[in-house]
A and B are shown apart, each in its own frame.
Chain A
Amino acid sequence: MALIELKNINKTYNNGQPLHVLKGIDLHIEKGEFVSIMGASGSGKSTLLNILGILDNYDTGTYTLNGTLIKDLTEKQAADYRNRMIGFIFQSFNLISFKTAVENVELPLYYQGVPRRKRHEMAMEYLEKLGLTPWANHFPNEMSGGQKQRVAIARALITKPQIILADEPTGALDSKTSVEVMQLLKKLNQEEGITIIVVTHESGVANETDKIIHIKDGIIGQIEENTHHDAWGGPLMK
């Protein structure tokens, strides 16, 4: 059974005049896949990601995540699923500015009720994994973009989620750092077997993933199996 199963998802925004953003999305993503969703701005890819991340709801269709139907959840249930099943990586990092790196990484565990000492230990462990130990007590504004994104990745990983959703994870980074971040995601996918879904409009980023799902005007277009990227030789590298 697929980890993520979308059947005929429709979503319309009603701001003034109705805007039909997603027009019947069908999507299967298996456990351990490294997928990118690619499309131009306005294609509905961000809306799709928000629905996958249970940050937004959909109008019709079904969304099953790891065998659980995600529909008509209360805010409380949604928060709980997000916390336990999904890790987010955002374009603008979304770290809390008045918390240090380690405090930011700890936060998801705080909402799980993990004791302070335990979550501090775990956060330090993840920061070490990402080579950020010296930066543990620095505030976000004392770190570079790449470091901030790695803190965000550590925060996404700490709850051991089923999937990681990355919304333009390299959008705010220079090309060298972008490569590093994508390599990191790839490594996490390969070594830890974490399912990762990246939303992007850059083909260079998409090319780093195993499967590229093209979305256009709210409909899934071509699904491209990408098997030629192992040598880290995508356009991004040049």
Chain B
Amino acid sequence: MRIEFIHEVASSLRNNKLRTALTGFAVSWGIFLLILLLGAGNGLMNSFGGNVGDYISETIAVEGWYTTKPYRGYKDNRRIQLDQKDLEYTTGPEWEGTIYRVTTSTSSTSATLVLNQSSVGGWLTGAMPAHKDQFKVKLAAGRFINDKDLQERRKVMVISKAQAKELVQGEPETLIGQWVKAGSVAMQVVGIYHTDEQEFRRSCYIPYTTYKTIFDTSDKIAAINFSVNGPSTLEEHKAFQDKYTATLKNMHDVAPDDEYAIWVRNSYTENMQMARAQHIMSIAMWILGLLTLISGIAGVSNIMLITVKERTHEFGIRKAIGAKPGSILRLIIGESVFITTLFGYAGMVIGMIACQIMDKTVGQESVDIGITKIRMLVDPTVGLDVALEATLLLIIAGTIAGVIPAWKAARVKPIEALRAD
């Protein structure tokens, strides 16, 4: 009986091609637009998140900056420099269990990298091994600074792929092991890291101890970087930061309400804010998408209503020769489901293909925003799961859209239906 029913539905659709095509188009178009919209939305979000989020890990960086308020007899606009005491405080018992993976890094010194006839600009930065994880340095070849480099104050360097390409012809990997002149010092390249699209990273990492020996012999610390356990919300992070910096401010004679003297860059909260923005954007996308979908559903419902009206006479004939109300109901809903499934699926596939085309064309284009280039759309595609969910939603909605007209048709008395024309 099932196969008979499918056959009856299929024949009804086949013999009413224009109506089927119009209904199908409404469905396909709705789902196509939805997929395209979600794809573009994803691309935009990936562009925000991808351009920045990829390179920010969960790290809090603390740097000394200039005071903005006079305090304890000092004038304002005084430079604050972190030192060993601050590091001891950070690693000390007060924050045990909360703060972990503490590293220090230096400020940067500009240097021209020279190899044979080639040269490229760069910024030498002293870093510790954990810096790689803290700031998501992604290695393309070789290794990062290690403990031995630190202990022995080796003259080793990790440079960016963009810089490596400038220095050697062909594969940048061949640079590993070679000695490159960085400013006035020769450094051996031990690693090459990936640069992102923007290529804004020009840092050349050298061991922290090496930097402190050659470029900055003071006992000052440019930045203290660490990860934290415990704070998980924006409010908790704010509380942690306030408590952590209060002691530092006191140690450096900075006014408690001076927000700028001790500069804290918290990528945990940055990530959270980013996630929140993305969340809002994705909700907006879904609302737009659902509105599009509703227009598709309205289209189906509208056509079903007209269909039922113009087929009333046919249903009358069917009833006269023995069709039960249920079988009329099933026929109409069956047709509705059949159309939405078939054309919804087609619209989904076309939508996903369109997303792929968008990815290959617009998605590859970068926009120059002055300091760097960014891609407007990164991977503007929709996951199969979301696409299937949306299609399923349309099928369910299509069924509901078919129910009311079908119910009306099933309830018309046979004589009334036969009289209709």
Residues of B within 8 A of A (CB): 1, 4, 7-8, 11-12, 15-16, 313-314, 316-327, 413-415, 418
Q: What's the Cα separation between A115 and B7 when bound, in Å? A: 11
Structural contact, A108 and B322, CB atoms closer than 8 A: yes
Judge if A129 is at the interface, Cβ distance under 8 Å.
Answer: no
Whole-angstrom distance between the alpha carbons of A85 and B192 in the complex?
Answer: 89
Give A70 to B4 CA distance when docked, in angstroms.
Answer: 30
Q: Is the CB of B324 within 8 A of A55?
A: no
CA distance A96 to B4 in the complex (A): 18
B322 and A112 within 8 A (CB): yes
Interchain CB contact under 8 A, B324 and A116:
no
Could you mark each residue 176-220 of chain A with 1 if its beta carbon is under 8 Å from any beta carbon of chain B, else 0? 000000000000000000000000000000000000000000000
CA distance A88 to B323 in the complex (A): 13
A159 close to B (CB within 8 Å): yes
Of the four ranges (under 10, 10 to 19, 20 to 34, 35 or more), the interface on chain A belongs to 20 to 34
Pair B325/A55 contact, Cβ less than 8 Å: no
Chain B nearest CB from A103 CB (Å) reads 7
Taking Cβ atoms with an 8 Å cutoff, the residues of A that contact B are 50, 53, 55-56, 75-76, 79-80, 82-84, 88, 90, 94-99, 103, 107-108, 110-113, 115-116, 155, 159
Q: Distance in Å from the Cβ of B4 to the closest Cβ of chain A?
A: 6
Residue on A nearest B317 in the bound complex, by CB: A94
Query: A107 to chain B: which residues have CB within 8 Å?
Result: 318, 321
Interface centre among B320, B323, B415 (most CB of A within 10 A): B320
> In the complex the two chains form, is B324's CB within 8 Å of A75's CB?
yes
Closest chain B residue to A93 by CB distance? B317
Task: Name the residue of chain A whose CB is nearest to the CB of B323.
Answer: A111
* A98/B322 in contact, CB under 8 A: no
12 further interface pairs, Cβ-Cβ under 8 Å (given A55-B415, A83-B322): A55-B414, A56-B415, A75-B324, A82-B321, A94-B320, A97-B314, A98-B15, A107-B318, A111-B323, A111-B327, A116-B7, A159-B322
| Closest 8 pairs (CB-CB, A-B) | A83-B322, A98-B15, A111-B322, A79-B324, A108-B321, A55-B415, A94-B317, A55-B414
A95 to B313, CA, bound (A): 10
* C-alpha gap A90/B400 in the complex (Å): 35
Quick one: closest A residue to B414, CB to CB?
A: A55
Chain B nearest CB from A124 CB (Å) reads: 17
In the assembled complex, the Cα of A176 lies from the Cα of B73 at a distance in Å of 125
B329 CB, min distance to chain A CBs, angstroms: 11
Query: Which one, A83, A97, A113, A116, contacts B321 given CB within 8 A?
Result: A83
In the bound complex, what is the Cα–Cα distance between A84 and B321 (angstroms)?
9
Chain A residues, CB < 8 A from B324:
75-76, 79-80, 111
Nearest-neighbour CB distance to chain B for A160, whole angstroms, equals: 13
Report whether B320 and A55 are in contact in the complex, using a CB–CB cutoff of 8 Å: yes
Cross-chain contact B413 with A56 (CB below 8 angstroms): yes
Q: List 21 A-B contacts (CB under 8 A).
A: A50-B415, A53-B320, A55-B320, A55-B418, A56-B413, A76-B326, A79-B319, A79-B323, A80-B322, A80-B324, A82-B322, A88-B321, A96-B317, A98-B12, A99-B11, A107-B321, A108-B321, A111-B318, A111-B323, A112-B322, A113-B4
Alpha-carbon distance A80/B317, docked complex (angstroms)? 14
Residues of A within 8 A of B12 (CB): 98
**Min CB distance, A155 to chain B, in Å?**
7
Residues of A within 8 A of B8 (CB): 110
Q: Nearest CB to that of B410 among chain A residues?
A: A75
CB distance from A72 to the nearest CB of B (A): 15
Q: Which residue of chain A is the closest to B16 with respect to CB atoms?
A: A98
Q: Within the complex, what minimum Cβ distance (angstroms) separates B163 from chain A?
A: 72
A166 to B318, alpha carbons, bound, how many Å?
17
Minimum C-beta distance from B356 to chain A (A): 39
Closest to A53 in B: B320
Query: Which A residues are CB-close (under 8 A) to B320?
Result: 53, 55, 82, 88, 94
